[in-house]
Amino acid sequence: MAKYLLLKHYRGAPAPVNNVPMDRWTPEEISAHMQYMHDFAARLEKTGEFVDGQALAPEGTFVRYDGEGRPPVTDGPFAETKDLIAGWMVIDVDSYERAVELAGELSAAPGAGGRPIHEWLELRPFLAAPPTVTE
Amino acid sequence: MDEALLRSLTPSVLGVLVRRGADFAAAEDAVQDALVEAVRVWAADPPRDPKGWLVTAAWRKFLDATRADTARRRREDLVDEEPAPGPAPAADDTLRLYFLCAHPSLTPASAVALTLRAVGGLTTRQIARAYLVPEATMAQRISRAKRTVSGVRLDRPGDVATVLRTLYLVFNEGYSGDVDLAAEAIRLTRQLAAAIDHPEVAGLLALMLLHHARRAARTAPDGSLVPLAEQDRRRWDTRSVAEGIGILQTALARDRLGEFQAQAAIAALHADAPTTEETDWVQIVEWYDELVRLTDSPVVRLNRAVAVGEADGPRAGLAALAALDGSLPRHTAVAAYLHERDGDLPTAARLYAEAAHRAPTLAERDHLTRQAARLNTHLRP
């Protein structure tokens, strides 16, 4: 098994095909979308492939160390950062192909007009722990 | 095996061990071990005196652990003390534990965890699951909390306010994992109310019961939030409402008003109303005025603005809102709602979308996005 991170972006990913902000959908379209996401996660829990999923607030801050005895420097809330993560899902699957298949399904969640959003999701493999047997 | 009974005995059993001279941290571990053993053994062989059984088992576990320790001499002293259970009644033991577990030297998160384990009898794993953190993390939080309070003497009265804040936090966490924290908070507050006669304890218990009564109506089958005005009031738990109102009335009659009684009074007025329109908003505003006087909290002022909007119309609500800091959490959501009530749908739609962007929870974000979508659908040419 290998773990993959599926990242959803507020900003920074290429524009999706069906690019309408959610507050311009109908309430029924929003419900359909939520149901799709919920069913997707529930199905992965059943197949034993779901690890975690979280959503992030759009606001955040950059923080860095500023030397001994000084409070950290903060910058933000983020202005026009290039990339802004909206949330993630971690899956644990048998193969890269399976990870791509699942990301593709998630990207097909319905949006405005009930049509798939075709949203770009970023798929990132976890660096695994070294195996016990190495030769 | 009656898990509820088992857990309700936890604080008094722990109290007996501490009174016999066991230090709190070791006694607490011993009681947890005894609870685990009870779960294993009682199903086949239920004891006639469950509490006596638990005290004996926990004391044995405590001695075993102490024996395993290097403090052999201390153990021998303790064995000598064993027959003396001490004169204090169980209610006092329980009360002392509440005070200890919510001691002001603990952070709120630590006080919550320690209360759930030492008073509530939940396992570390259950608490970890409920708060969605790894079990090892929760175990550390609890053992650090135990170390923090290890020097606190149990023979002094504690601060009821910190206990109530802790229980309120547990209640607000709601439901996740296999433990219903809201129900657990009610159980613990009920147990506290039995151990101490205090109108604010009663006020908090009433507040919890009145909010809990609405739980089934608060979420739609798809998990989305249903606001108070749209809830199917037939789904409110009338028994819980009646109990909450009864407890509140008794507390209010003592004429020692506090913030939890005032909050419960507002919840009671909602529970009493057959519809939003028939709600006694004027009286609700008066209770908010009391709450402002008691707490001077900006969040209370924000809620008051909503009530003013219902009592005196949306313009009055917006005027009350204008006096408040716009960066308050949910300020934009309240503004959106009042503008909608005032008939300014484009402004309301824009503010709902903005409020969704700032929402502190996923459920609220979804709800506010739906509100924006609903108005935008309506406004579309």
* Cβ–Cβ under 8 Å, residues B163 and B106: no
Tell me the average pLDDT across A56-61. 89
Please report residues of A whose CB lies closer than 8 A to that of B336: none
A72 part of contact set with chain B, CB < 8 Å: no
Segment B319-336 shows an average pLDDT of 95
- The whole-angstrom separation of Cα B162 and Cα B168 is 10
Q: Where are the domains of chain B?
A: 1-87, 280-322, 329-381
Residue of chain A with shortest Cα separation from B133: A52
Question: What is the distance in angstroms between the Cα of A46 and the nearest Cα belonging to chain B?
Answer: 17
CA distance B265 to B273: 13
Q: Identify the closest residue of chain B to A39 by CA–CA distance.
A: B222
Counting one residue from chain A and one from chain B, the pairs whose CB atoms sit within 8 A come to 42
Residue B85's pLDDT band, with cuts at 50, 70 and 90, is very low
Q: Residue B213, SS3?
A: coil
Name all domains of chain A by residue range, CATH numbers in brackets.
Answer: 2-125 (3.30.70.1060)
B223 contacts on A by Cβ (under 8 Å): 34, 38
Report yes or no: B361 at the A interface, CB cutoff 8 Å. Answer: no
Helices (H) and strands (E) in chain B, counts: 20, 2
Q: Give percent of chain B above pLDDT 90.
A: 74
Minimal Cα–Cα distance from B377 to chain A, Å? Answer: 6
How many residues are recorded in chain A?
135
Rounded mean pLDDT, B241-247: 98
A 40-69 near B (Cβ less than 8 A) = 55, 57-59
Nearest to B366 among A29, A34, A58 (CB): A34
A11: confidence class by pLDDT, cuts 50, 70, 90:
confident
Q: How confident is the model at residue B155 (pLDDT cuts 50, 70, 90)?
A: low
C-alpha distances out from residue B262 to A92, B196, B293, Å: 50, 20, 11
Per-residue tokens: B35: 């609870």
Question: Measured between CA atoms, how close is A62 to chain B, in angstroms?
Answer: 18
Question: Are A23 and B224 in contact (CB < 8 Å)?
Answer: no
Q: Are strands A50-55 and A122-125 parallel, antiparallel or unpaired?
A: unpaired
Q: Is B143 on the interface with A (CB under 8 A)?
A: no
Contact residues on chain B for A57, CB-CB shorter than 8 A: 358-360
Question: Of A41-55, A115-129, B172-186, which range is least confident?
Answer: B172-186
Predicted confidence at residue B67, as pLDDT, reads 83
B376 to A23: CB separation less than 8 angstroms, yes or no? yes
Would an 8 Å CB–CB cutoff place B223 in contact with chain A?
Answer: yes
pLDDT tens digits, residue range B206-222?
999 999 999 999 988 87
Least CB-CB distance to A30: which of B353, B362, B369?
B369
Task: Tell me the per-residue pLDDT of B162-201, one tens digit each, with 9 for 90 and over.
Answer: 999 999 999 988 665 668 899 999 999 999 999 999 999 9
Q: How far apart are CA B17 and CA B26, in angstroms?
A: 10
Using pLDDT thresholds of 50, 70 and 90, give the confidence band for residue B83. Answer: very low
Distance CA B239, CA B100 (A): 33
Contact between chains at B374 and A25 (C-beta distance less than 8 A) = no
**Of residues A133 and B278, which shows the higher confidence score?**
B278
A81, pLDDT greater than 80: no
pLDDT of residue B159: 84
Among residues A2, A1, A16, the alpha carbon closest in space to that of A122 is found at: A16
Q: Could A23 and B358 be called an inter-chain contact, meaning their C-beta atoms sit closer than 8 Å?
A: no
Average pLDDT, chain B: 90
Say which of A30, A35, A57 has its CB closest to residue B373.
Answer: A30
Structure tokens at B189: 């507050």
Residues of chain B contacting residue A114, judged by C-beta atoms under 8 Å apart = none
Question: If we measure between CA atoms, which residue out of B289, B276, B281 comes closest to residue B309?
Answer: B281
- pLDDT in the model for residue B5: 85
Judge whether A28 is closer than 8 Å to chain B, CB to CB.
no
Q: What is the pLDDT of residues B98-140, one digit of tens each?
A: 999 999 999 999 999 999 999 999 999 999 988 889 999 999 9
The minimal CB distance from A27 to the residues B356, B362, B377 is found for: B377
Which of chain B's residues have a Cβ under 8 Å away from the Cβ of A31? 222, 224, 370
Reported ipTM exceeds the 0.95 cut? no
The answer, for A82 touching chain B at a CB cutoff of 8 Å, is no
Name the residue among A23, A58, A59 with its Cβ closest to that of B369. A23
Average pLDDT over residues B52-67: 92
Interface contact A97, partner B, CB < 8 A: no
